[in-house]
Amino acid sequence: MVTPDLSVRLGSLRLRNPVLTASGTFGYGLEFLPFLSLEEIGGIVVKGLSPKPRKGNPPERIVETPSGMLNAIGLQNVGVDAFLAEKLPELRRHDTAVVANVFGETIPEYVEVCAKLDAAEGIAAIELNVSCPNVEAGGMAFGADAASLARVTRACRDATRLPLWVKLSPNVTDIRETARAAEAEGADAVSLVNTYVGMVVDVERRRPVLANGCGGLSGPAIRPLAVWATWQVSRAVAIPVVGMGGIASGRDAVEFLLAGASAVQVGTASFVHPDASVRIAREIGSWLAGHGLASVREIVGTLRTGKEERR
Amino acid sequence: MPRDLSVEIASHRDLGGGNHLLEVEAAPLARETAPGQFFMIGFPGADTLLRRPFSVCGLPGTFDGSSRSAVHVLYKVVGRGTEHLASRKPGSPLSILGPLGRGFDLELGAGTEALLVAGGIGSAPFPALAAALGARGIRCTLLYGARSASDLPLLDWFRARAPEVIVTTEDGSAGTRGLVTDPLRERLARGGNVRILACGPNPMLREVAAIAREASVPCEVSLEARMACGFGVCLGCVVPTRRGEGGETAYERVCVEGPVMPAEKLAW
Ligand SMILES: Cc1cc2nc3c(=O)[nH]c(=O)nc-3n(C[C@H](O)[C@H](O)[C@H](O)COP(=O)(O)OP(=O)(O)OC[C@H]3O[C@@H](n4cnc5c(N)ncnc54)[C@H](O)[C@@H]3O)c2cc1C
Ligand SMILES: Cc1cc2nc3c(=O)[nH]c(=O)nc-3n(C[C@H](O)[C@H](O)[C@H](O)COP(=O)(O)O)c2cc1C
């Protein structure tokens, strides 16, 4: 049996295999070195970076839910300068694509981080987290409507030549609209989904469990929602789609690939099994081999809904 | 360096009161784990998603008759995960990630007496700790408080192994009626070269830390917090800490900077 070719292309960026790790679930990558080799995955997306270090939200920050978890970490991070000075040089010793996840509370903050990353060596792409509240626009998330998403995408596009991915929030009426806005303003790819907003109540205390009140839902609980969003978006835009949400096995990843994702990200699963991303990449290979397929690229977007035959 | 191992339950004892003592054979963990460190334990086939954190309770030599690769965990059934775990029989598979976190400082210095302060299931890390301190010739006193007599797991073990055990219960069903902080205050009033090592519910730890501070006695506490990963990446398990007197507060991870932290650094 031939070993299937797992390499994929996202615009100008070539990845060894379609599995990346999702932002906020893989630290700065180095924390995982006891458990896996970064050379066995397509790449890593680091924890969201802001212009200055951020302290994050008070605890409680997380709570388990049926087949998932809710988090309100509050984007605690070391800041872009410390990342570039302390983490990136270490990461560059490993042959893997490093994608920098970026957020800000204002458009100039996004631009500042993008410009600093652009000037650095060793960043494969920038992923914009647009689920952050827009302080200038009264705290509504940048990703909540197509117009503000368009503005932040354009500003960052003008600040960097690096491949620019926009990570879409699923907390919108029609995710295809924000996807099209990202494409129109020069994004090289869209990634989706970020977490779904939810709440868990402590009925004895009559309070939300999380200090922040609400939090973002991730894990297998959101997988069908995320597959659906991936399928919708992949038919609405021509740029590559990176899919994620509850992926815990190679089969889960194949769902996203069939639904139109050119690559996938693994998030919450890495908390439970630190080597999950590597295992998932291998399982995609076995699945392809088991189906006599030579390349993962053959299956991207080949989902059949049955409706096309009936038409 | 932590590792993720697949193990089988070697023995599993119901100690009453919802408390259980679990033993697994895991040579690397037996070799490398220090008292106060913890494991993230996963239950393959259970309907829980995340692993659960548990302190190391016993290492080789802690409990009689255990092997050189034995590791023990003492836990109390409090929810879905621990309820599921309690139903597991010897031979049943578990995944165990560890050793994790920062354990107790064992370098107490000659002549220092260790005051171990436990609240109920908070005694879990103390058998391994008492054994390690004992091996270093350090005298340990256990102050063991709980709601009632059934919430004092391994009391007999402690009585056999620690030079002195003082028990308090809130309902008076064992030891003296009252809180564990009462005998702690009395003991500190006697003075001497002591250090406090405490584990239990947060309100108790806060009180113990305040008492230690007042008496100018060094104090380490082993903390609990909800955590998803256990190795520093989810940032879910943070506690507020302070750098220096009146210093700026930050959030530090119970799983990496803890679970054992010097009480004076906590901003609670
Ligand atoms: C470093 C550390 C060491 C620990 N050592 C021990 C030990 O040796 N023995 C022992 O009995 N318990 C210990 N605990 C507490 C133990 O992890 C919880 O009792 C257990 O996770 C409860 O799981 P559950 O599914 O039964 O409860 P549920 O309430 O159903 O759990 C729901 C979620 O909340 C979390 N959670 C619930 N209670 C706690 C808690 N008190 N602390 C942290 N997370 C919690 C769970 O991990 C899970 O993610 C420790 C906790 C930490 C952080
Ligand atoms: C604890 C935690 C922290 C996260 N932090 C970030 C972040 O900083 N930036 C970001 O774009 N997404 C963040 N995410 C979202 C994930 O990258 C991912 O989109 C989401 O968890 C869905 O994938 P999953 O179900 O595989 O976890 C975070 C998720 C979790 C669980």
Kindly tell me if the per-residue pLDDT of B233 is higher than 80. Answer: yes
| Both tokens assigned to A178 | 């924000």
Kindly tell me if the per-residue pLDDT of A287 is higher than 50. Answer: yes
* Per-residue pLDDT at A292: 97
Query: Are B48 and A34 inside 8 Å of each other by CB?
Result: no
Is B112 in CB contact (< 8 Å) with chain A?
Answer: no
Q: Residue B53 Cα, ligand 1 centroid: separation in angstroms? A: 6
What are the C-alpha distances in Å from B236 to residues A26, A156, A157, A211?
A: 13, 30, 32, 12
* A131 phi and psi angles, rounded to 5 deg: -90, 0
Distance, C-alpha A264 to centroid of its chain: 8
CB nearest to A271's CB, from B226, B229, B251: B229
* Per-residue pLDDT at B110: 83
Query: Using CA atoms, how far apart are residues A156 and A126, in angstroms rounded to an integer?
Result: 9
Give the distance from residue A204's alpha carbon to the nearest chain B alpha carbon, in angstroms. 15
- State the architecture of B104-224 in CATH terms: 3-Layer(aba) Sandwich (3.40)
Residues with CB under 6 A from ligand 1: A 64; B 38, 48, 50, 52-55, 73-76, 78-82, 121, 124, 224-227, 254, 259
- State the architecture of B3-100 in CATH terms: Beta Barrel (2.40)
Query: Using CA atoms, how far apart are residues A237 and B20, in angstroms rounded to an integer?
Result: 56
Extents of the domains making up chain A = 8-56+71-196+217-310
Residue with CA closest to ligand 1 atom 10: B75
Interface test with A, best of B29, B43, B251, B257 (most A CBs within 10 A): B251
Q: Residue range B17-33: average pLDDT?
A: 97
Chain B environment of A73 (Cβ under 8 Å): 234-236
| Both tokens assigned to A184 | 């129109």
To 10 degrees, the CA torsion angle through A66, A212, A109, A264? 0
Extents of the domains making up chain B = 3-100, 104-224, 225-268
Query: What single string gives the DSSP state of each residue in A112-158?
Result: HHHHHHHTSSS--EEEEETTSB-GGGTT-BGGGSHHHHHHHHHHHHT
- DSSP code of A49? B
Q: Residue B119 Cα, ligand 1 centroid: separation in angstroms? A: 15
Query: Are B251 and A273 inside 8 Å of each other by CB?
Result: no
* Per-residue pLDDT at B33: 98
What is the residue type of A67?
S
Nearest-atom number in ligand 2 for the CA of B236 is 1
Is A32 in CB contact (< 8 Å) with chain B?
Answer: yes
Query: Among B52, B104, B126, which is best to mutate for testing ligand 1, by the most ligand atoms less than 8 A from CB?
Result: B52
Q: Which residue has the tokens 């402690």?
A: B158
Is A73 in CB contact (< 8 Å) with chain B?
Answer: yes
Across chain B, which distance is largest between two alpha carbons, in Å?
A: 53
Closest alpha carbon within chain B to A62? B236
Is B227 in CB contact (< 8 Å) with chain A?
Answer: yes
- DSSP code of A200? -
* Per-residue pLDDT at A310: 54
Cis peptide upstream of residue B77 (ω within 30 degrees of 0): no
Nearest-atom number in ligand 2 for the CA of A48 is 8
* Those residues with Cβ within 8 angstroms of residue A285's Cβ, 6 or more apart along the chain or in another chain: A3, A4, A6, A17, A250
- DSSP code of A311? -
Residues with CB under 6 A from ligand 2: A 22-25, 47-48, 71, 73, 75, 101, 129, 167, 194-195, 218-219, 222, 244-247, 266-269; B 234
Q: Structure pTM? A: 0.96
User: Domain B225-268, what fold?
Assistant: Dihydroorotate dehydrogenase B (pyrk subunit); domain 3 (2.10.240)
Burial of B96 (0-12, 13-18, 19+ CB in 10 A): buried
Query: Using CA atoms, how far apart are residues A119 and A250, in angstroms rounded to an integer?
Result: 36
A221-237: pLDDT as tens digits: 999 999 999 999 999 99
Band (pLDDT 50/70/90 cuts) for residue A133 is confident
A59-100: pLDDT as tens digits: 999 999 999 999 999 999 999 999 999 999 999 999 999 999
What are the DSSP E strand ranges found in chain A? 8-10, 13-15, 19-21, 43-45, 62-65, 68-71, 97-102, 125-129, 164-167, 189-192, 196-198, 201-202, 207-208, 215-218, 241-244, 263-266
| Both tokens assigned to B139 | 């005298």
Burial of A7 (0-12, 13-18, 19+ CB in 10 A): middle
Name which residue leads in pLDDT, A235 or A306.
A235
A162-216: pLDDT as tens digits: 999 999 999 999 999 999 999 999 999 999 999 999 999 999 999 999 999 999 9
CB nearest to B226's CB, from A26, A56, A62: A62
Q: Residue range A109-115: average pLDDT?
A: 98
For domain A8-56+71-196+217-310, say whether CATH 3.20.20.70 is its number.
yes
Query: Among A64, A200, A205, A218, which is best to mutate for testing ligand 1, by the most ligand atoms less than 8 A from CB?
Result: A64
Chain B environment of A34 (Cβ under 8 Å): 1-3
Band (pLDDT 50/70/90 cuts) for residue A1 is low
What are the DSSP E strand ranges found in B17-100? 19-25, 38-42, 52-55, 70-76, 93-100
Catalytic, A132? Answer yes
Chain B environment of A70 (Cβ under 8 Å): none
Query: Using CA atoms, how far apart are residues B32 and B24, in angstroms rounded to an integer?
Result: 15
Query: Using CA atoms, how far apart are residues B44 and B192, in angstroms rounded to an integer?
Result: 49
Q: Residue B131: in which H helix or E strand, if any?
A: helix B126-135
* A166 phi and psi angles, rounded to 5 deg: -110, 125
What ipTM score was computed for the predicted complex, to two decimals?
0.95
B163-198: pLDDT as tens digits: 899 999 999 999 999 999 999 999 999 989 999 999
- Side-chain half-sphere of A78: how many Cα atoms within 13 Å? 14
Give the helix ranges, DSSP H, for A65-106. Answer: 80-82, 88-91
Strand partners, B259: B102
A10-62: pLDDT as tens digits: 999 999 999 999 999 999 999 999 999 999 999 999 999 999 999 999 999 99
Q: In percent, how much of chain A has pLDDT > 90?
A: 94
Residue with CA closest to ligand 1 atom 37: B226
Is B159 in CB contact (< 8 Å) with chain A?
Answer: no
Band (pLDDT 50/70/90 cuts) for residue A105 is very high
* Per-residue pLDDT at B243: 81
Kindly tell me if the per-residue pLDDT of B246 is higher than 90. Answer: no
A237-265: pLDDT as tens digits: 999 999 999 999 999 999 999 999 999 99
Kindly tell me if the per-residue pLDDT of A311 is higher than 50. Answer: no
Contacts of A120-123 spanning 24+ positions with Cβ under 8 A: A120/A84, A120/A88, A121/A92, A122/A88, A122/A91, A122/A92, A122/A98, A123/A88, A123/A98, A123/A99, A123/A162
- DSSP code of B149? G
Is A232 in CB contact (< 8 Å) with chain B?
Answer: no
Strand partners, A194: none
Is A299 in CB contact (< 8 Å) with chain B?
Answer: no
Q: Which residue has the tokens 């250090």?
A: B195
* A172 phi and psi angles, rounded to 5 deg: -140, 165
